[in-house]
Structure 1
């Protein structure tokens, strides 16, 4: 349930901020509407893998690599969470549901989640893993996000 504290909360907070703005979706074009619908899903993915923070405690990741040969990760969870958050934001912000938007939201969340998780895991074996803050690298993902929006709209 750690994912609910970090990733799920980020998505719900982003959706709450968008809902607090009022009804603004009518005056936007298709690309802008899609961007606002997928924004909570992108926020969920940008939080990264919540298990990385748990594995940093007491060097548990070292134990997992030594005993199990790898670290545990959420393989399918980001895709399911991305689908649910996209469904929530599409129903709350827009009148119609499109299957393409829901599937793109699930895929976007999964790819960004696993990408940021890979970046977080790559710093685990450093001498000082806390010195590298992966969150500063995540704005690099904004350009592919805007390219995805322009292709889909």
Structure 2
């Protein structure tokens, strides 16, 4: 568990633990979902669910999972960007292009192209799917929304 446990203050009593953790860590509730799924959040030594209501003097401990390192390489692959601003972009994905790296498809994916095009992408979906808000099948063409930052991804 985390080296520095957090003790719930009286003013925080009754708050959901997932909401409280967003105020004391740099992580979003979406990012923390896996923590709860893997029982990595404990109150007074017991694993809890995201909707746990905090009590005064509760001792909260959590463990941030180690993200597996993948070597997803940015590649200069032409993509059809329909719209772009500082938070999102909309891409018209052509049929035949895989959206994100997976078994047998590590290169020439939309994610490889996005990493080349963008300086930064949302990390909410992890290292395999940076920025990907939703996906469509390889053989399907259509518009995809891509989040450039975590705030836009949660939005």
Query: For this structure pair, what is the TM-score category when the shorter chain's length is used for normalisation?
Result: under 0.3
TM-score, length-scaled by structure 2: 0.25
Q: Of Structure 1 and Structure 2, which has the larger fraction of its residues in helix?
A: 1
TM-score, length-scaled by structure 1: 0.25
Question: Which of structures 1 and 2 has the larger relative contact order (alpha carbons within 8 angstroms, sep 6+)?
Answer: 1
Structure of larger gyration radius:
2
